[in-house]
Amino acid sequence: MLPDKRSYVARPATMPIEETACRTRLKVLGAEFEEQAPQSDADGCVLPFPLKLKRLSRSIDIEPDAIINCATAETSARFATEVIAPAARTELGEELTVVGQASAYVCRPRNGTRKLSEHAFGNALDIARFTLTGGTSVEVEPAPPEKNAKFLDAIRNAACGPFKTVLGPGSDADHARHLHIDLAPRKNGGTFCQ
């Protein structure tokens, strides 16, 4: 794998102020998390201040728990509360209870390349399903039922902006059954959404 410039940044001895502030904001949002040991790998994967995200808010769980960086945890928690939950109410008439994730931190390259994935920095989350109060499960899939499609489209469209990369069914075969969202650093703060 080809290391990224982030692969070589030394972990500070003490937690930086932006990490501490992020954790404070997460607590205010009602998210639950645990601190985890730093992650690093000879291939260049690195996550200096990882969190195990256990809940996105007081009423929204994430399953299974996700090891990610704080910025991704915070953006995901806000997105679940401010976008996904209201879309579930509007489009499906139910409350969101669980966001089912398929991948968070994992040391690997981007699909089909040798360049490190945003997952290798705890900077990405793959969402495969949403569970609602009535027991309804909405899967991210290529051809969902019409009602689910409207809900999934609303989420996917709204994700482009808070997240810098959004990929899902139709973008390529690797993203046919999940919604990939990440905070990849892009030139001029741009986005890549497919």
- Per DSSP bridges, beta strands 39-40 and 137-139 are unpaired
pTM: 0.95
Q: Is the peptide bond before 86 cis (omega within 30 degrees of 0)?
A: no
pLDDT one-digit tens code per residue, 117-165: 999 999 999 999 999 998 899 999 999 999 999 999 999 999 999 999 9
Rounded distance between C-alpha atoms, residue 65 and residue 160, angstroms: 24
pLDDT at 111: 82
Domain ranges of the chain: 5-193
Q: Is 66 exposed, middle or buried (0-12, 13-18, 19+ CB in 10 A)?
A: buried
- Give 185's pLDDT tier (boundaries 50, 70, 90): confident
Closest residue by Cα to residue 40 from 140, 121, 135, 94: 121
